[in-house]
Amino acid sequence: MKPAMKIEQEILIDVDKCTGCRACEMACSAFHSLPKFSSINPAKARIRVVSDEIRDEYVPVFAGNHTKSGCDGRHVYTLDGKTYSECSFCRASCPTRDFFIEPDSGLPLKCDMCESTPALEKPWCVQVCGEEALTYKRTEVPREQATQEVSGEIEASLQALMKQHGMEAVIHHLKEMANKDR
Ligand code: SF4
Ligand code: SF4
């Protein structure tokens, strides 16, 4: 029997085309502001562009999963003669640095592919990238694999909320939400 399928979304990055204009950061923060497009603050974006303007090198990095603690082994990357720390291209929101952490609430930021209803044809960062450094791809994957990924995301979000507000407050709020939905 054919397994149930689900759509998986990806954004492909071509670093050779990126000019470091940071339009993607601005569009992302505007889309996620409340109400939508009411403000622009790249510190709240779920994508950041690692830039070396002297060498004309730019690498867009998307916010990935939250991690509770920093890595205990650090390495460096040497690309084209320039040295980058391991953290430069890391996608995690991590307690050892400020990237991908919402500056007002301290909550982790993660790319949500601009999830909205109705769904967008393409995420905003892809739409505004005039250089086509970012391209959007949709693929069908077995539903079981997709479900495991969602479980991991929910667990990471709950852990971050418990760290900030405490387990009791989170459980209390979840119970209140469940009661409202009845
Ligand atoms: S919008 Fe495109 S070209 Fe500009 S910084 Fe972002 S990825 Fe690079
Ligand atoms: S897909 Fe949407 S949420 Fe993710 S980085 Fe791009 S604009 Fe931000």
Atom of ligand 1 nearest to the CA of 25: 6
Specify the length of the chain in residues.
182
89/94 Cα distance (integer angstroms): 13
The residue whose CA is least distant from atom 1 of ligand 2 is 113
Cβ(133) – ligand 1 distance below 6 Å: yes
- Tell me the pTM: 0.77
Q: 24 exposed, middle or buried (CB, 10 Å; 0-12, 13-18, 19+)?
A: buried
pLDDT tens string for the chain (182 positions)?
A: 677 888 899 999 999 999 999 999 999 999 999 999 999 999 999 999 999 888 888 999 999 999 888 887 667 888 778 788 878 889 999 988 889 999 999 999 999 999 999 999 999 999 999 999 999 999 988 887 656 767 777 887 788 788 778 888 888 888 888 887 66
Q: What are the domain boundaries of the chain?
A: 5-140
